[in-house]
Each structure stands twice: as C-alpha cells, then as structure tokens.
Chains A and B, each alone.
Chain A
C-alpha cells in the first residue's frame, strides 16, 4: 500500500510543480540605470482605463535581475482573459507612474489569465523600453503588439506630412484596425483593436459596422464588453430618440393634465376657499335672499352680511348676486 502511495506521489509531485512553474509571464528587457529594477503588473478593469494609473491597479511587483530577466506568476489571475499593463518606473519616481509617448514610454499592454505562460523579449537596444519586442507562445499577445505597431503608424513622424496626408494615414490605420477587430477570434484582442481605432470619433461614419460588431459579440459576457456596449448605446442616435419619445410622452401628459385635471381642481377651488359662515351666506345668496333676510336668518348685523358678501365676491371673482346664482358649487 505504502509503496503504491509513494509511487503515485512521485508521479504527481513533478506534474504539480511543473504546472505551477509554467504558469508565468517571463521576459527580458534592456533596462539601463535610469530605470528602477522592478516590473509592475497592473490590472486594467476596462479599456477606458488603459491610460489610468493608481496604486490600487498594481497587483504585482517583481524584481528584474542583472541580466534584465523577470518572471511574473499568473496563478493568482482570474481564469478568463483580462487586460493587464506591465510597466517600469524611472529612478526617483513612485511605482504608480505612467509615461505615454516619448523616449521614456514605460508600459506595455498584455492579455493574460491564470494559466498564461509566455515570454516577452526585447530585441536589442531600442529608443524606448518596449519599442521592439517579441512575444513567444502567445499568438493573442503577438496580435496586441501588431495592433500597437499599426497604431504607431499614425504618429510616425517619418511618414506623416501635411495635415491632409495625416488624415489619409489616420483613416487607413483605423480601417485596418477595424478589419483586425472584425476578423479576430479572441474577443479581447478584437475589442483592443476597436479601442485603438478611436471609435468614438469614427462612430457616426461607421455606425453600421459597430452595430454588426455588437451583434457578433452579443453573447460575450465580460466587463470590457459591457462598458463598450454602454458607450456605443450612448452614441447611438436611436438611444437619443428614446429620450425624445419619453419627453414627448411627458409633454402630452402635461397638456392633458392642464386641460382636464387642473381646470376641475380650479372650479372646485374657489368654493373651498370660503369659510363656513361664508358658505352658509353664499347658499342663501344663491337662493335669492336679500342682505336683510340673510341677516335675520344668520342672526348677524347687516354690515357683517355686507362684509361677508364682499369677501365672497372677491374669493369667487364675481361682481353680482346673479353671477353667484350661476355658480354650480357642487
């Protein structure tokens, strides 16, 4: 029995160890002395937060050795693919520092999950840290690199010239990114391409594309897509039309209320404004009694009756006994 257990253990332990060791992102970067020797891994909760930096986004910190090697374990990551950012900080800068553009650009976006295992390798000394890379064992991350390269074309100073030429390049780049988004099998890669294609500026011109795109990925359940759907919905003129219809509905209700309900309330209102004594006198007025008769019936002086009648006229906005008799106080 013991021999059997030992045999199984001997077989299982290496498998367990190998599985855990393999779930990691490894890499080698050409880091000079101006950089801190740490790699930070940040979780990007939505594509809108790609250029957001705060300490709570940083989920791991690993050391870079003297040869530029580093490794980040992925076993604590969610099972599903997510977007992450790898970045380094300059010496003297805090861990939460983001540099976009220029020679000190300090970050790279990657996709990873719990079982990710791939390698990032710098292809020699380049102008920036992540300028020239090779990612092995992850076709999806390779695609992200390709998307980055295409996006960079728009800002490449060597090929951009006049504003008109720049517009044409920009259109071509966005078209290419939309094609990648359309043909990519991985939803996150596809959405990454969409966000890089400055979809907010191009939505109106390519609305049909975005509507079909949403239909294609309608079953994709992820926060990235939920946020994208909301953004598209807000830009959709049909969405604005809903608000117009709702506003019109309330406008109609308002008109009906003004025409039928308020007048009813108003008709009742003046009678309700009369005091008990005034109502009693008003009834006597309607029955055609004179001031003297009212005075005798209510057991009050004529001057008091006159004062009550004057108040009734004012409150009911009438000028004569005849008008008082015409009012239907029911």
Chain B
C-alpha cells in the first residue's frame, strides 16, 4: 500500500505549530473519508463479514459436526479474503434481507450469496463476481408442476403457490415474470431458504425457486423434491461493502482477483463440489453490470405507494381479525380460572403460561410449519391470525382476570342474592364492569398487537413494516420510504385512537337506559 498512514499524516501535521489542532482534525476527517477504514481493519486485525447462517448451505450454515461453528464455502472464502488483507475473518450474524444495513453498523462487508444487480451497483460497493448462479425451480416428485411450461397456466386449484427467499434474485425474477403474465403464480416470500423447501415438502407450496447450488446441496435431505426443468436466468454473487469504504472495497476486489488468478478459488469450489472449472469460465467472461440510475422522489412514491398501501391493509386486517378473537378466548380463560370448576384451572393456567412464556415468532412457526406435518395445513393468513389471537389471548386473560377481581365482591353477592345464577351474574353484572375497568390496558394491548403483526412476515404474511424493509433495501431509499411508511402508520393510528376514545365514551354511558 502506497497511501500514507494517518499516524504519519498526523505526525507531519503537528509540525505546523500552534494552529495545528484544527488542521489536524480536518486532516483526520479527510483521511477517514479517504479510506482510513482499511487501516482500521488492519489495526483491528479482523475483517468483520456479515451473513445469515439460517440461509443455509452451501453458503453459510451451522457445522453438523459442531453446531456452535459455522461452515460453508463462503466461510472459507471470507477466511481467504481476510488472509489476503493480512487479518483474521470474524463472522457477524444478520437476517439475510437486512445484511446490507449492517454495513453502516459493525460489518466491513457482506459475503452471502448477494446477487450483483444494477441497484446494488448504485447503492453499495460491489466486488468483482466471485460465483455464478442460476435459478432452479423445484417441486414434489410425482406432483405438478412437472415443467416450466406448466407454470404458464394456473394449477389445479388456482395460481401456483411458489416460495422464494424474500429479497432474493429469485423473488425479483418470479415477481417480474408473474407481473408480465408469463407465469400464473402467487409468489410467497420466506425469511429462510429452507422454510420454502419444508413447505414444498409438506405440500403447502406447489414449488420453490432458489439458486441452483442450494437445491443441489439439500437435494438428498429433501428426498421428496425434484428439479422442475433446467436452471434458468441467474447471475453472479458479489462481496458488498459500504459506499463510504472505497479503499476496503478495492482491497477486497484485489484479494478476489488474486484468489481467482492463483487457482485457490477454483480449488475451494472443487472442494465444495461446485464445479470449479465451470465457475472459472463463467467468472472470466462475466459482463460488466452498469449501475442503475437514481429514481426521482415522485417516481419512487408512485412505484411504491400501491404496494405500501396494500400492505397497510394487511396490517389492519391482521389486527382487526385477531384481536376480537384474542379477547373472546382471553375472557373465557379468565372466567374459567376464576369461576370454573377446579379441574379446569390447572390446564387453563398452563395455557396462559405456555403462550405467554414462549415467543410469538415460535408460536407462528409451530402453527405454520409444524401443523402441516400432522396433516393440518393452514393458509398463511389464517395461521397468522390464529397465532396472534392465541398469543394475545394469554395476555388478555390476565388483564380480564385482574379486571374481574377488581369488581367489588359485593357486586357478585348482590347479584347472587337477587337469584341470578353464577353465569347470569357474570354476564350481566361482573363482566360489563370488568370490561370498563380494563379498557386502558386492552387498548394499549391492541396497539402492541398492531405493531406485533410485523412478526407475521416470518410466515410469509407481508404487512407494512416488512414491505417497507424489503422496498427500502431493494431500492436503496431508506429515509424517504421510512417517511412515507411513518405517514401511513399515522393515518391508520389516528382514526384508531378516535375510535377507541368514542368506544370508551360510549361505555361511560349506562347501557340500555330508557330516555
């Protein structure tokens, strides 16, 4: 490296005398902008590379022999690149579709099957291609679709249901083909590649589309699956760096160049059964991809608003469908625990503790991915509504239990003394009062649920937050889209708070009063 190191620069600067401090800081800032990041990596002795081990093999995945360790061809590639820079590689876990965001935080680069696209050329530092992939469609053995031609017509029960990794080239490609009408399919985005394989295996999906090397790697584990037709489309993987670290980008690109030239990359691919020679030939003749041009704000909004609005509708649908269900179940559980027969109490207590004590995400996973294994496949939307309702019913039941206990005992005794049965007393005297007492915490739970709907993206239900994050990352307009999204959220929460105020005011009035 010929560039002067900042320490030397600073030493030179200090000689200028008394007014040196200001000058020093200017120089230091300038040197930061000018690529001090590479020196920072060297000083640290570590190249921090981000990837998602959930994305699976052959890229990066937990070592079957020792799940605390990760393995994969990109793990070895990261070590080779770091070695070229004279440092060690340190792995940083992130969610695949959000890996680029880590570049602004703690990661120096992203090495995880990131496809080279015009948008990424525009928004990030992209290295020369290091791997060539093609897309592969796959389905179940003995079930339609059997070929790509089948996908042009709808399946036996409407459009084909096809799973892809959210934010991947497979998703972009399939959505584009679908919107051009070349294929009749509903494209469903998953957070992990293996999720879509599971769902094809358990017949929730008709097919999945992913990078060919992933299917090749897992073909043995998912014995029921088969390739549908030959690989198609495709492109190259690139090492992503932040725009603000150009020198690091150059160093990584140089390192890749060395690894390509001296055969170590080919040897790596051969070790992983990834057809090293073919890769070398494809990489040698990779065409330059020009960066995409920046969209204007108006264009951006015009393109994204319909998608954002429909996702906002999903947020509303999820909350409004699941919350009444949660309240109904929660109230029933609370009444059962307080006034039910004694044999009913332990199972109801267990119900509350289990649902409250395990993460919502896990419950959604269980409903969506595990129920199909026992032959009970729910559509994603139903699974999401059910999952949210069950999870929140545990919280609602505790709120209603507290509310019922807060009604003075005299109310219950007075109702019983009038000859009302226990259930009539609950129905006419206790529950209406408890409902009024718990209005504030229930309202705040509804708001919490409103936000928690974003967890449903884990089971492919895309609501506003998820849509924002996908759009922001694919378009590289994080701030502008955040403002639009925030505005949509405000437009939703405003009428909501009006509604809850109206409802509270209505409850304040005596019910069924004669005028």
Q: Decide whether A and B assemble into one complex.
A: no
Residues of B in contact with A (beta carbons under 8 Å apart): none
